[in-house]
Amino acid sequence: MNFYSLNHKAPKVSFKDAVIKGIAPDKGLYFPESISALPHSFFEKIEALSDHEIAFRAIHQFVADDVPDEKLKEIIANVLDFDFPVVEIEDNVATLELFHGPTMAFKDVGARFMANCLGYFSRGEKSEITVLVATSGDTGGAVANGFLGVEGVKVVILYPSGKVSDIQERQLTTLGENITALEVDGTFDDCQKMVKTAFLDEALSKNRRLTSANSINVARWLPQLFYFLFAYKQAKSKQQEIIFSVPSGNFGNICAGMVAQRLGMPVKHFVASTNVNDTVPAFMQTGNYHPKPSTPTISNAMDVGDPSNFIRIRHLFKDDFKTLSENLSSYTFSDDETQEALLKIYKNSGYVADPHGAVGYLGLKKYQQNHPETYGIFLETAHPVKFLDVVEETIGQSLEMPPQIQKVLGKEKKSIAVKSYEEVKSYLLKS
């Protein structure tokens, strides 16, 4: 299968080339040439399939030309070595826990899948590939962990100074080896702009092989559809209409869920739940897309004012606003509402959510006000301990520190402070 640019001014490329390029020469995101639905029998008998079998069949059509079946099975086994439980916390309300991986965030799946693919594609190559990535929180740690020690790959992570949690910062600044953190004086949007500028800088591209590990990269984005299918398998026995509420920042995760829907997953509706960075909720109200500077919140991984992947969602629905509205609702919530939800969830069920999951819960409950017959699953995208101060202060309880987090707490932070794209470029050329 080939992938084409959503700006339609660049040649089609293979999956391998789309992964290595990251973004098309015309600045567009790559998108699969076709999405073929899986047979009805796949979903009718999904309970009998292992997660590895589900993942293999779901991703196969997109990667088969470049990744042999046996290698793909090996990659999936390397990526999916932890659980994705659906935990019911109220009648008709459950959460899909995506924090059981090495960095305790949903991005472990995409980062590990991409790292394994890029490691496979880079075998025997003489020149090093530099993975350049911007993070608003969890991407950095997941990418750092996924690519740590991968031969022939150097990772450079840009993150906004003072705008990620302490644990998130430690996960991306303490590993060393082939991982470097650039601490940017600015916002996530500034980091993302620098990354995009680097890809389009001819002087830089002549001297360095660059790719991105943000969700703009197809190998980071597409594998996220796996756990929507895993959740459907677990909730299918409810025999109710299932909806997903996805805490959304750059909108890659919810877009992957919509690709799972296009594969035939019997889920009719998604809720994109955001914090006060409400570009998409405003679009769903008006039909007008107006990106804006991002605003810092306690759910910092969603502090995105111009979400890159929303163009993929619009393309998936042929930019037909009516059809998109039938499949997607989007709501915005404040920090105060988020903390109220954290406390409500804890008091009512004893469940400890993180701020992003709490936003997902709020979006789900708002949708269910008019659709009470649905079975709603909100995504708990990171372990609450990664937002320790906010969660403990809100619920009035101390959290136990998981081993994945304990191992980074005593390590020394190492980062390079930068203020401009020129400083980033200078570092990349010298490194």
Residue 127 has pLDDT above 80, yes or no: no
pLDDT given for residue 176 in this prediction: 85
Residue 317 has pLDDT above 90, yes or no: yes
Domain map (residue ranges) of the chain: 83-104+221-400
pLDDT band at 152 (very low <50, low <70, confident <90, very high): confident
Q: For residues 239-277, b (16+ Cβ closer than 10 Å) or e, as one string?
A: eeebbbbbbbbbbbbbbbbbbbbbbbbebebbbbbbbbb
DSSP state for residue 105 in the 8-state scheme: B
Residues 71-85 have pLDDT tens digits of 999 999 999 999 999
Residues 36-60 have pLDDT tens digits of 999 999 999 999 999 999 999 999 9
pLDDT band at 136 (very low <50, low <70, confident <90, very high): confident
The answer to whether the CB of 20 falls within 8 A of the CB of 45 is no
The answer to whether the CB of 7 falls within 8 A of the CB of 24 is yes
pLDDT given for residue 34 in this prediction: 97
> Could you give the percent of the chain with pLDDT greater than 90?
75
Pairing between strand 129-134 and 153-160?
parallel
Residue 95 has pLDDT above 90, yes or no: yes
pLDDT given for residue 149 in this prediction: 87
Going by CATH, does the domain composed of 83-104+221-400 fall within 3.40.50.300?
no
> Of 84, 199, 89, whose CA–CA distance to 133 is shortest?
199
Structure tokens given for 148: 């740590």
Q: What is the mean pLDDT of the chain?
A: 94
Over residues 149-153, the mean pLDDT reads: 85
The answer to whether the CB of 160 falls within 8 A of the CB of 188 is yes
Over residues 393-405, the mean pLDDT reads: 92
The answer to whether the CB of 26 falls within 8 A of the CB of 7 is yes
**Residues composing the chain:** 431
